[in-house]
Amino acid sequence: MQILGFCPFGFEGNLVTVEVDIRRGIPGTEIVGLPDSSVREARERVRVAIKNSRFTYPSDRILVNLAPADLRKPGSAFDLPIAVAVLAASRQLEELGSEPTLVLGELLLDGTVRPVRGVLAAVTRGAHDGIRRFLVPQANICEARLGGNQGVVGVASLTELPRALKELAVTRSGLKAGGDTAFSDAPARFAHDFGDLRGQPLVKRALEISAVGGHSVMLFGPPGGGKTMSAWRLPSILPRLTHSEAVEVTQVHSLAGMLDTRTGLIAARPFRAPHHGASSEGIIGGGKTLLPGEISLAHRGVLFLDEAPEFDRVTLQALREPLERREVRIVRADRRYRYPANAQLVLATNLCPCGKLGSRDVECFCSNAELHRYWKKLGAALLDRIEIRVPVGIPESFALVTGKTETSAEVRARVQAAVDLASERYKAEPFGRNGELEAAAVHRYCGLTSEARRSFLAAVQKLKLSARAAEAVTKLARSIADLAGESAISSAHVLEAVQHRRAGESEEFWETLIRAM
Ligand SMILES: Nc1ncnc2c1ncn2[C@@H]1O[C@H](COP(=O)(O)OP(=O)(O)OP(=O)(O)O)[C@@H](O)[C@H]1O
Ligand SMILES: [Mg+2]
């Protein structure tokens, strides 16, 4: 008999072996391998829950070992595996059998099994490591089966253990085959629609391009221009998740303890809009409990930082590395942990601290020093990573009342067609969207026509684009060409890409831009 538990730190998590030794002696229980306070708590919970569930708690010396000992573990998730191991060692659970079993669950004193976080990660990790039997809290059963694993049984209380173990003995383990296609064709419903956004053709076009490649965006302009409004409409035009992407998204939310256990896979791309008061750990992840941060919760979706300069400078700068690597790495004394963080960053900001800069009718009195401080917080290094910069002026009043506006469904159809083209092109690659291309892949997949190459070189020289900016322009041009359904990138695609990228390249440009609004 081998009982395993699961430690939900990091995306993959770690399996923990639960061993129990019972021998004659002064009655007492010792648990090794857990931090002090958790040991005390787990020991008492398990003892009382077993007594209250028509089993006997052995009146001998009991030693519980959780290995590896040097791995940090949260106490409560080990209640059920410890209880099962104690009952099996004292020959009260003959149904258990000899095959390794991964057991998850927290106990209440009356023996009720409570749901825990990270169940999908646990089952995935277990299956990867060759485990074929899983006993999980009944409330987590939907989630546990999401990975397609068949050898999973739920248990609602300790008294049900013999029944659950018998069921486990006859369930067929193994994986159900599942293709990596978009798994839900039902049209998702969104609270906010692009149809509400009047005028602003440049803003809409920029967001459409960003949705194709997952390109990072900064929306800037005076108050009331519709920055917040347009950002909240971005999720409604994003492409569908594929099945394997949805599993990843669901796994991160489950590890954070944020999954609604009654629903299946998360079907829509996440949109996370944390408040600017959020801590660095809240955004990036980590902390004492090693939880994924907002950037990981936004994995495969959007991280929106409204009023971006109001965020803590340290937090903003800490975003740079995960944005580049598309994952968060946390180094702790015991080991290294990682969470995926392949999110599209969207920033919204005014142009100055008072917000009036760029308004047509009111004058801004912010000093140069104040302006400098304001922008310094975002920092050149972070701004350089923003691929699309969109000036959002106050819409003309006639635009607000006249004209036809496209709905999100219409825009999304175009975005999906472009994304389908890109995924076909990258089907043998580890990435799927244009924004994810690295330097070598940019050369391979972003072929320019000779005319486009000339326009590109001219733009790079004239605007003194940095290497990173030039790469961003090429990737944007790729998304623009995909939207047009064309395989080669033409001069028009490059020139449009330059327009979307260059805002913010130089002081001079800012001035013209502000004057132009
Ligand atoms: N293009 C538009 N079409 C329709 N309504 C708009 C548009 N732009 C702005 N509005 C209206 O103006 C309100 C304010 O817009 P929003 O909050 O998005 O501005 P903002 O640019 O985020 O301003 P701030 O800089 O103050 O945060 C919206 O709630 C909406 O009612
Ligand atoms: Mg706003």
Determine the Cα–Cα distance for residues 207 and 211; give it in Å rounded to an integer.
Answer: 6
To test ligand 1's pocket by mutation, which of 193, 229, 352 has the most ligand atoms within 8 angstroms of CB? 229
Distance 342 CA to ligand 2 centre (A): 24
Provide the residue type at 314 as one letter: V
3-170 and 194-425 share one fold: no
State mean pLDDT over 246-260: 92
The CB of 216 under 6 Å from ligand 1? The reply is no
Q: Which atom of ligand 1 is nearest to the CA of 200?
A: 1
Cα torsion for 231, 233, 237, 240, to the nearest 10°? 90
Distance 357 CA to ligand 2 centre (A): 15
pLDDT at site 265:
86
Q: Which atom of ligand 1 is nearest to the CA of 225?
A: 21
pLDDT surpasses 70 at 506:
no
Distance 308 CA to ligand 2 centre (A): 10
Q: Whose alpha carbon is nearest atom 27 of ligand 1?
A: 223
- For the chain, the structural domain boundaries read 3-170, 194-425, 437-517
pLDDT at site 90:
93
Buried-state track 194-223, b at ≥16 Cβ within 10 A, e below 16: bbebbbbeebbbbbbbbbbbbbbbbbbbbe
Q: Whose alpha carbon is nearest atom 8 of ligand 1?
A: 226
Which letter does DSSP use for residue 175 in this model?
B
Q: Whose alpha carbon is nearest atom 10 of ligand 1?
A: 226
Query: Under CATH, which number does the domain 437-517 receive?
Result: 1.10.8
Distance 414 CA to ligand 2 centre (A): 27
Beta bridge partners of 286: 291
pLDDT at site 63:
94
State mean pLDDT over 19-40: 85
pTM over 0.85: yes
pLDDT at site 398:
65
Q: In this structure, what are the phi and psi dihedrals at residue 120, rounded to the nearest 5 degrees? A: -60, -40
Distance 503 CA to ligand 2 centre (A): 20
State mean pLDDT over 381-386: 85
Q: Whose alpha carbon is nearest atom 26 of ligand 1?
A: 223
pLDDT surpasses 70 at 123:
yes
pLDDT band at 513 (very low <50, low <70, confident <90, very high): very low
Determine the Cα–Cα distance for residues 249 and 264; give it in Å rounded to an integer.
Answer: 12
Determine the Cα–Cα distance for residues 267 and 397; give it in Å rounded to an integer.
Answer: 38
Ligand nearest the Cα atom of residue 231: 1
pLDDT band at 516 (very low <50, low <70, confident <90, very high): very low
Reported as a single tens digit per residue, the pLDDT across 454-488 is 999 998 888 888 888 889 999 999 999 999 999 99
Give SS3 for 245: helix
Query: Which H or E run contains 156?
Result: none
Q: Which atom of ligand 1 is nearest to the CA of 350?
A: 25
Task: List Cα–Cα distances, 72 to 67, 84, 231, in angstroms.
Answer: 10, 21, 39
Ligand nearest the Cα atom of residue 350: 1
Distance 433 CA to ligand 2 centre (A): 28
Percent of the chain with pLDDT over 90: 57
The CB of 239 under 6 Å from ligand 1? The reply is no
Determine the Cα–Cα distance for residues 184 and 173; give it in Å rounded to an integer.
Answer: 26
pLDDT at site 512:
47
Ligand nearest the Cα atom of residue 390: 1
Beta bridge partners of 65: 19, 32
Provide the residue type at 44 as one letter: E
Distance 232 CA to ligand 2 centre (A): 10
- Which class in CATH covers the domain with range 3-170? alpha beta
Reported as a single tens digit per residue, the pLDDT across 37-88 is 777 788 899 999 999 998 999 999 999 999 998 888 876 789 999 999 999 9
Which letter does DSSP use for residue 204 in this model?
H
Distance 228 CA to ligand 1 centre (A): 7
pLDDT at site 517:
41
Determine the Cα–Cα distance for residues 16 and 33; give it in Å rounded to an integer.
Answer: 10
The CB of 118 under 6 Å from ligand 1? The reply is no
Interstrand relation of 113-114 and 106-107 (parallel, antiparallel or unpaired) = antiparallel
pLDDT band at 510 (very low <50, low <70, confident <90, very high): low
Determine the Cα–Cα distance for residues 425 and 420; give it in Å rounded to an integer.
Answer: 9
pLDDT at site 388:
94
Distance 175 CA to ligand 1 centre (A): 49
How many other C-beta atoms lie within 10 A of the C-beta of residue 151?
23
Q: Quick one: the chain helix, strand, coil %, rounded to 5?
A: 45, 15, 40
The CB of 226 under 6 Å from ligand 1? The reply is yes
Q: Where would I find the beta strands (DSSP E) of 241-301?
A: 271-272, 285-286, 291-292
Determine the Cα–Cα distance for residues 20 and 280; give it in Å rounded to an integer.
Answer: 40
The CB of 223 under 6 Å from ligand 1? The reply is yes
Distance 204 CA to ligand 1 centre (A): 14
The CB of 350 under 6 Å from ligand 1? The reply is yes
* From 117-126, 206-215, 363-372, the region with the lowest mean pLDDT: 363-372
Q: Whose alpha carbon is nearest atom 5 of ligand 1?
A: 197
Determine the Cα–Cα distance for residues 80 and 30; give it in Å rounded to an integer.
Answer: 16
Q: What is the mean pLDDT of the chain?
A: 88
Q: Which atom of ligand 1 is nearest to the CA of 349?
A: 25
Asked whether the beta carbons of 394 and 222 are under 8 A apart, the reply is yes
To test ligand 1's pocket by mutation, which of 205, 228, 234 has the most ligand atoms within 8 angstroms of CB? 228
Distance 227 CA to ligand 1 centre (A): 6
How many other C-beta atoms lie within 10 A of the C-beta of residue 32?
12
Provide the residue type at 41 as one letter: E
Determine the Cα–Cα distance for residues 239 and 505; give it in Å rounded to an integer.
Answer: 30
If one compares 497 and 191, the residue with the highest pLDDT of the two is 497
Distance 197 CA to ligand 1 centre (A): 9
Q: In this structure, what are the phi and psi dihedrals at residue 195, rounded to the nearest 5 degrees? A: -60, -25
The CB of 233 under 6 Å from ligand 1? The reply is no
Determine the Cα–Cα distance for residues 506 and 517; give it in Å rounded to an integer.
Answer: 17
Determine the Cα–Cα distance for residues 259 and 341; give it in Å rounded to an integer.
Answer: 18
pLDDT at site 447:
85
* From 43-47, 436-440, 497-501, 511-515, the region with the lowest mean pLDDT: 511-515
pLDDT band at 353 (very low <50, low <70, confident <90, very high): confident
pLDDT surpasses 90 at 10:
yes
Q: Position of tokens 């798994």?
A: 183
How many other C-beta atoms lie within 10 A of the C-beta of residue 54?
10
Range 194-425 has CATH code 3.40.50.300: yes
The CB of 228 under 6 Å from ligand 1? The reply is yes
Residues with CB under 5 A from ligand 2 (ion): 227-228
Task: List Cα–Cα distances, 467 to 132, 439, 457, in angstroms.
Answer: 50, 10, 12
Ligand nearest the Cα atom of residue 356: 1
pLDDT band at 237 (very low <50, low <70, confident <90, very high): very high
